[in-house]
A = this chain, B = another copy of it.
Amino acid sequence: MPAQIDFKSGSEVRSACRNGELTGQTSGLAPGYAQANLVVLPREYAFDFLLFCQRNPKPCPLLDVTEPGETSPLRAAPAADLRTDLPRYRVWRNGKLADEPGDVSSLWRDDLVSFVIGCSFTFEAAMLRAGLPVRHVEQGCNVPMYKTNIACDPAGCFSGPLVVSMRPMTHSQAVQAVQVTSRYPQVHGAPVHFGEPSLIGVGDLSRPDFGDAVEVRDGEIPVYWACGVTPQCALMNAGVPFAITHSPGCMFVTDLLDESLAIG
């Protein structure tokens, strides 16, 4: 159970990824350090994708974007190597999942631009400090994620549905969760919806599109946040010839402190 290893910093998590010791999901690891989604694309697609992020800041809040070919995100974790420091990657060819390796060094190219996109795992530490439940952390599994019927604002070749992560809680906890997570706009911020899943085109909560199902107890409602898997759907739709992303739940842990991203 990687979640039981006591990682004290983003740097320690990244070392464990680089050494092959950590190959699974990162929720709950190195509490206090911001976690991030990764999208790596050829320079040719970088303007359209950056524009997609700019137009869809809730699912795609940018923590850092590299110059073409750079392997370290200088603002989010200057000593990191994006080719080795995630537990698991996804490699996409022509919009289709081609491989899911633990290292992408051999695939690196000088024209690749890396997008480091805030992840909601970041505000889970703040939720826990406020006494709010984070069910997938309790259950030691990955957060459940669902495709919705809410369309992202398209940009160039990129378009697709908003993907959400879901955390169940009571109504009064949901109010507090809005307050707590609103302070973190750079890691998806406030929820986009709560309650009845069909209102956002989600069918069976027990069958998430990504990640693992979690228990929704009596008196609880599902609360949904914009999710960094959204850009993966946009990549699939665009059929980009080549791209690399993180594997869902297996995030890039940065040097940025959660609280350095908080407002208000």
Contact = CB atoms under 8 A, between A and B. Distances in A.
A156 interface: yes
Contacts of A55: 65, 75
Interface string A43-86: 10011001100110000001001010000000100000000000
Interface of A is mostly: mixed
A264 interface: yes
Contact of A54 (B54, B67, B153, B264): B54
A263 interface: yes
A155 interface: yes
B54 A47 contact: no
Nearest to A66: B51
A47 B68 CA distance: 11
| Chain A: number of interface residues, binned into ranges | 10 to 19
A67 B156 CA distance: 7
Number of copies: 2
Given A155-B67, A156-B67, A264-B264, A51 B50 contact: yes
A138 to B, nearest CB: 32
Interface in A11-70: 43, 46-47, 50-51, 54-55, 62, 65, 67
Contacts of A65: 51, 54-55
A54 B53 CA distance: 10
A67 B153 CA distance: 12
Contact of A46 (B43, B47, B75): B47
11 contacts: A47-B50, A47-B113, A50-B50, A50-B51, A51-B65, A51-B67, A54-B62, A54-B65, A55-B75, A75-B153, A263-B264
Interface of A: 43, 46-47, 50-51, 54-55, 62, 65, 67, 75, 113, 153, 155-156, 263-264
Given A47-B47, A50-B54, A54-B54, 14 more contacts: A43-B47, A47-B50, A47-B113, A50-B50, A51-B65, A51-B67, A54-B62, A54-B65, A67-B155, A67-B156, A75-B153, A263-B263, A263-B264, A264-B264
